[in-house]
Amino acid sequence: MGPQNEHILLVESDSQISETIAQQILRPLGYQVDVFDSASSVIKDITKISPDVIITDLHLPGISGKDLLIALTSQGIDIPCIVITPKGHEADALQAFRLGAVNFLTYPIRETEVIKVVEDTLIQIRKQHQLEDYSRRLDQINAGIEQRIHDYAEIFSIGKHLPSSVSQQPLYERLIKVAISISRADSAWLLVVDQNSGKFLLQACANCDDRMQSKLHLPYENDLISLTATSNQTISLHGDDLNRFKLGDIGAVLVVPIKHGQKIIGMIAVEQKKPQPFTNDQRSLLEMIGDYATILLYNFLRFQNLEQNLMRLQQEGISSAIDSDIKKDLLFQSSKELRNVLNGLLENLDYLSNQGNRRLFTIQNDALIAIQEEASLLLDITDAMVNISQAVKTPGLEKVDLNNLVHNVINHSQIIAQANRIKIKSEIPFQPTMVTIFTSQIIEVLEGLISNAIKHSPPKGQIKIIVEKKDNKAMVAISDQGEGIDEKLSDRIFDKKSSLFSGEGMRFGGIGISLPLMKRIISAHQGEIQIKSGHGKGFTVTFTLPQ
């Protein structure tokens, strides 16, 4: 039996030649040989026979071997052909090569020549098949690599949808869109735990039925969700295993829990109509999305809590200021009213004292004088209350290390910067930078500038803070990588009345005080403040304080 058991088709009208080639030479070697005595029958049945090699005599009666070659080429049939021609007619073989033949034999037939030509031809066929197989496998590998790159790019693109306090919906929708893409699923849905009720809310679904669509942003439960929540593991089901869950027209489902530690904060699932299980590769990619979603959703929850705490602190500060103003106002109004009453009382007492036509007993006179003295004392106290209510407490000048001050403000700002995935880098001298300042006011300036830089820095951006000593002055520079504004408008941004504050100037906001107020504070300290900016170049705010 031949090593490959190839199928050979012999077309030969001379029975002696066909007997020699087929019966005496090729079949004993294990080749499968079919013999035809005319080309017409071969052309008719060639698609059914599908041989590995055709051996044909060029000088056949009727349709010749050359005609057979032409017919095969015209039908797009690519089967290697060996032609047979009488010795001395090699020119016919050369013409046959132009028509697609790959080798030739001459008769009288010699066994060694037949074996060599056939084996050489089959070796070339095997090599060609190997190359074609390698090419197909390489194409499959390349397609797999390209698909994997596409899948990873889709997964990493989720990171562009950063947590937002305004709406998480774009992130939810992106997650399920990528889930469908990487798993080749028909539909997908996403559940997120509600922090107040602890229930799973259906936050997004794609290509789902109307029943599920009607539950969007509402609590959503079924046995499959309960199973996932209880097991705390990825669930993959298909075919008959899904029947008990009554999920409708679904052939397979893959559910991945979104976990922070051991606590499930959500689930993401993909479904397909065919009862064909999801592959391990698809499962791994979906679990990767689940890990990514864990980071983004948990960061959002932290960011949301920080914003709520920040809002609470701001509201408490506003409320405290209002309460303080109310107390001052009540103190002022009450003292004014009391002062009016006391002035009237003193006038009446003066009137009584000056009534010379009436005589008072000594005890009455002493009582009247005591009342006048106590009323005067109350009036003095009331005047002091008015002064206190109108007074503004101003902290005194202090000699402090500006380096420590900047360090402390940076530490306070780190939690907000980290929530926004922003890095704060500082360059601060080891030696103290001593300045004489109203400490609370300079802290307000530093906090306002850093808050503004955080607010307008891009995700994963960097804020750079530099403290330097130069020409008997302490300099602080705070730079961000935000969008910036037109450099020509930079100076106008310090003007509180400038129209910039309804346009580009609103870029300055943050949590802290405004730039005009910062300029007032720095100027009061005999210092200077300036801005360098440009569209797409970020902001650098620099201020100096005398040492």
At residue 356 the predicted structure's pLDDT band, cuts being 50, 70 and 90, is: low
Specify which residues 86 forms β-bridges with.
107
Averaged pLDDT score across all residues of the chain: 81
DSSP3 helix / strand / coil % (the chain, rounded to 5) = 55, 20, 25
> Tens digits of per-residue pLDDT, 150-206?
777 777 777 665 555 456 788 888 889 989 988 899 999 999 988 778 899 999 999
pTM recorded for the entire structure: 0.40
Inter-axis angle of helices 515-524 and 439-456, nearest 10: 150
Has residue 43 got a pLDDT over 60? yes
Amino acid at 7: H
* Residue linked to tokens 């010699």: 110
At 508, the pLDDT band (50, 70, 90 cuts) reads very low
**Tokens at residue 421, please?**
């995935």
| Cis peptide preceding 108, ω within 30 of 0 | yes
**254: confidence class by pLDDT, cuts 50, 70, 90:** very high
| In the predicted structure, residue 501 carries a pLDDT above the cut 50 | no
CB burial of residue 442 (10 Å; 0-12, 13-18, 19+): buried
Closest CA to 13 of 52, 63, 53, 47: 63
- For residue 532, the cross-strand partners are 540
Residue 169 C-beta-side C-alpha neighbours within 13 Å: 5
**CA dist., res. 191 & res. 203, Å (int):** 6
Strands (E), 97-149: 103-107
Smallest CA-to-CA distance from 294 within 159, 458, 185, 154 is with 159
* Pair 9, 51: CB distance under 8 Å: yes
pLDDT of residue 373: 64
Determine the average pLDDT of the residues in 428-448: 89
- The Cα 391–Cα 388 span in angstroms is 5
- DSSP string over 214-257: TTTTSB---HHHHHHHHH-S-EEEEGGGGGGG--SS-SEEEEEE
**For residue 91, is pLDDT > 90?**
no
pLDDT in tens, 381-413: 666 566 555 544 555 778 899 999 999 999 988
Phi-psi region of 451 (alpha: psi -120 to 50; beta: other; left: phi over 0): alpha
Looking up tokens 């403290």, which residue turns up? 467
User: Which neighbouring-strand residues pair with 229?
Assistant: none
How many Å apart are CA 111 and CA 291, to the nearest integer?
Answer: 70
Q: Which helix (H) or strand (E) holds 529?
A: strand 528-533
Place of tokens 């028509």: 99
**Residue at token pair 């530099």:** 466
Q: What is the pLDDT of residue 140?
A: 81
**β-strand partners of 187:** 271
- Alpha-carbon separation of residue 528 from 82, 337, 431, 544 (angstroms): 96, 46, 23, 5
Q: In what order do the strands lie in the sheet with 263-272?
A: 200-206, 187-193, 263-272, 252-260, 235-238
Q: Please, which pLDDT band fits residue 472 given cuts at 50, 70 and 90?
A: confident
> Out of 163-177, 206-220, 530-544, which region has the weakest mean confidence (pLDDT)?
163-177
Q: What is the pLDDT of residues 64-73, one digit of tens each?
A: 999 999 999 8
| pLDDT given for residue 89 in this prediction | 84
**Which of 274-278, 321-325, 407-411, 485-489 has the least mean pLDDT?**
321-325
Structural contact between residues 172 and 192, judged by C-beta atoms closer than 8 angstroms: yes
| Partner residues linked to 468 by β-bridges | 475
Closest CA to 34 of 53, 59, 16, 61: 53
> Cβ(55)–Cβ(31) under 8 Å?
no
Average confidence (pLDDT) over 225-252:
88
